[in-house]
C-alpha cells in the first residue's frame, strides 16, 4: 500500500517515533513547528523540542553545539531560511565541525508558491552539495522520507535534507529498502533516461507513461541521494539509453542537471536536456501553477523527452556517417 502524504508530515511522524525511544534525540526549531508539523512532537515531548525563536543562524549553531556534546539533533524549519540565512552555520558549525546535525528543511523549492522568492529555496542543491562532508538528500515520497529519517537517526554525521510542503503520491511500498548513495530505478527503459529528485519524480513517472503510449521507452531514476551521488547509475543510464533528461525543482544552475552533467560530460557524454527553474523572477503562483508555467508537468516533460530523443537519433545518424567515413579513410590508409 503506497501512501499519499506530504514528506514533511512523514518526517515529523517518524521523528516523534524515534524521539520517544531516544531521550538524546532533539528537534530544534525556529518558530516553525506549524510549518514542519511538529505540534504533536511539542505536545508529547516538550523536553526534546528546542525552540530558538526566529533565528536560523543561532538555531543551527546551537544544534552544532548540542551535537558536539553528544546529542542527536534535527534542525527543523523551512528550507529557504535554513539553507540561505543559516548557510555559514551549515558550512562551518555543522559541516566543517562534522557535527551530528541533521538540517531538515521543509517547504523546499517553490512549495510556498505565491509567497514569492523570499520563501522559495531554488539554490539549495547547488549551495549544499558543494560543502565538503555534508550528505544531501531530497526524498520523493512519504515512505522514502520515513526510511531516510530513520537512517539519519542511526547514522553519525552532518546531513541536509530538503522536503516539499504538499502531499505527494506514494512511489514506494512501506517496506522498501533504500541505500544512501544508490539511485532508485522506478521504471526501466531504453530510449532515454529521466533523472529527477523530490516532487518532480512522480511527475517524471507520469511523463514516462505518456511517452510509453507514444512508443518511447523512458527509464526513470530517483536521485534522492544528491550527495553521495550514484554516478554508476547515471553512467549506466548514459551508456544504455544514450540520452538524459533531468527535471528539478531548483534553479537550472548548479543543481540536479548540473551535477548529472558533471558526471556524464567527463566520462560518457551523451545528449542531455536540463529542465528546472530558469534564471528569472519566478512566475507568481502556487506551486502547481509554477510547475505548469515552466513545463514541469507530465506533458511538458514528455515533450522535452521527445525532442531529446529526436536529438539523440539525429546525433546517432551523424555519428554513423562519421564512423563510415573514418572506416573508409582507414581502409584507404591501410591499402596505401
Partner 1 sequence: MEQKFLLKKAREVRRGICRMVNRAQQGHIGGALSETDYLVALYYHIMKVDPARPDWKDRDRFILSKGHCVEPLYYILADKGFFPREMLDTFSLPGSPLIGHTNREVPGIEMNTGALGHGLSGACGMALAAQKDQADWKVFCLLGDGELAEGSVWEAAMFAGHYHLDRLYLAIDRNRLQISGPTEELMSQEPLAQRFQSFGFDVAECDGNDSAAIIAALEASFHRPGKPHLLILNTLKGKGVSFMEGQTSWHHGRITQEELERALYDLREEED
Interface with partner 1 (CB under 8 A), residue from 2, 9, 98, 187: 98
Which residue's CB is nearer to partner 1, number 86 or number 271? 86
End-to-end alpha-carbon separation of the chain, Å? 69
Does residue 93 bind partner 1 (CB under 8 A)?
A: yes
Which residue's CB is nearer to partner 1, number 72 or number 165? 72
Which of 203, 213, 216 is closest to 287 using CA atoms?
203
Q: For residue 182, what is the DSSP state?
A: -
Does residue 132 bind partner 1 (CB under 8 A)?
A: no
Does residue 151 bind partner 1 (CB under 8 A)?
A: no
Which residue's CB is nearer to partner 1, number 93 or number 124? 93
Interface with partner 1 (CB under 8 A), residue from 47, 175, 279, 280: 47
Catalytic annotation, pick one of 3, 17, 51, 56: 56
Sheet bearing 101-106, strands edge to edge: 49-51, 25-29, 72-78, 101-106, 159-162, 135-137, 225-227
In DSSP terms, 6 is beta-bridged to 167
Using CB under 8 A, which of the segments 87-95, 131-139, 209-217, 236-244 binds partner 1?
Answer: 87-95
Question: Grid coordinates in use for 162?
Answer: 530538503
Decide: 219 and 237 in contact? Cβ < 8 Å. Answer: yes
Cα 127–Cα 56–Cα 85 angle in degrees, nearest 5: 40
Which residue's CB is nearer to partner 1, number 92 or number 180? 92
Interface with partner 1 (CB under 8 A), residue from 3, 17, 42, 97: 97
Does residue 96 bind partner 1 (CB under 8 A)?
A: yes
d(CA 270, CA 243): 6
d(CA 330, CA 267): 26
The H or E element that residue 100 is part of is none
Does residue 25 bind partner 1 (CB under 8 A)?
A: no
Minimum Å distance from CB 237 to partner 1?
38
Interaction mask 52-81, partner 1, x per CB under 8 A: xx-x-xx-xxxxxxxxxxxx-x--------
262 a catalytic residue: no
Length of the chain, please?
A: 336
Does residue 50 bind partner 1 (CB under 8 A)?
A: yes
d(CA 31, CA 187): 40
Residues forming contacts to partner 1 in the complex (CB under 8 A) are 47, 50, 52-53, 55, 57-58, 60-71, 73, 88-89, 92-93, 96-98
List, by residue number, the catalytic residues. Answer: 56
Amino acid at each position: 500500500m503506497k501512501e499519499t502524504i506530504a514528506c514533511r508530515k512523514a518526517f515529523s511522524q517518524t521523528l516523534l517515533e524515534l524521539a520517544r525511544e531516544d531521550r538524546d534525540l532533539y528537534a530544534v526549531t525556529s518558530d516553525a513547528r506549524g510549518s514542519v508539523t511538529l505540534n504533536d512532537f511539542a505536545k508529547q515531548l516538550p523536553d526534546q523540542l528546542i525552540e530558538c525563536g526566529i533565528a536560523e543562524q543561532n538555531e543551527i549553531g546551537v544544534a552544532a553545539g548540542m551535537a558536539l556534546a553528544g546529542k542527536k539533533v534535527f534542525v527543523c524549519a523551512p528550507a529557504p531560511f535554513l539553507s540561505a540565512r543559516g548557510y555559514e552555520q551549515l558550512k562551518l558549525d555543522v559541516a566543517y565541525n562534522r557535527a551530528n546535525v541533521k538540517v531538515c528543511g521543509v517547504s523546499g523549492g517553490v512549495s510556498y508558491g505565491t509567497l514569492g522568492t523570499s520563501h522559495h529555496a531554488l539554490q539549495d542543491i547547488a549551495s549544499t552539495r558543494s560543502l565538503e562532508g555534508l550528505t544531501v538528500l531530497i526524498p520523493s515520497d512519504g515512505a522514502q522520507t520515513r526510511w531516510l529519517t530513520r537512517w539519519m537517526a542511526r547514522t553519525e554525521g552532518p546531513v541536509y535534507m530538503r522536503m516539499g510542503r504538499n502531499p505527494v503520491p506514494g512511489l514506494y511500498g512501506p517496506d522498501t529498502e533504500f541505500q544512501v548513495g544508490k539511485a532508485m530505478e522506478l521504471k526501466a527503459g531504453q530510449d532515454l533516461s529521466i533523472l529527477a529528485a523530490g516532487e518532480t519524480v512522480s511527475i517524471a513517472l507520469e511523463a514516462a507513461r505518456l511517452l510509453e503510449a507514444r512508443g518511447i521507452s523512458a527509464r526513470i531514476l530517483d536521485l534522492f541521494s544528491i550527495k553521495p551521488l550514484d554516478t554508476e547509475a547515471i553512467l549506466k543510464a548514459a551508456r544504455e539509453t544514450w540520452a538524459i533528461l533531468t527535471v528539478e525543482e531548483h534553479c537550472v544552475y548548479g543543481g540536479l542537471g548540473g551535477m548529472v552533467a558533471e558526471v556524464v560530460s567527463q566520462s560518457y557524454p551523451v545528449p542531455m536536456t536540463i529542465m528546472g527553474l530558469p534564471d528569472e523572477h519566478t512566475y507568481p503562483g502556487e506551486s502547481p501553477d509554477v510547475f505548469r508555467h515552466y513545463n514541469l508537468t507530465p506533458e511538458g516533460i514528455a515533450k522535452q523527452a521527445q525532442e531529446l530523443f529526436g536529438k539523440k537519433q539525429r546525433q546517432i545518424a551523424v555519428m554513423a556517417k562519421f564512423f563510415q567515413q573514418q572506416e573508409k579513410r582507414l581502409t584507404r590508409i591501410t591499402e596505401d
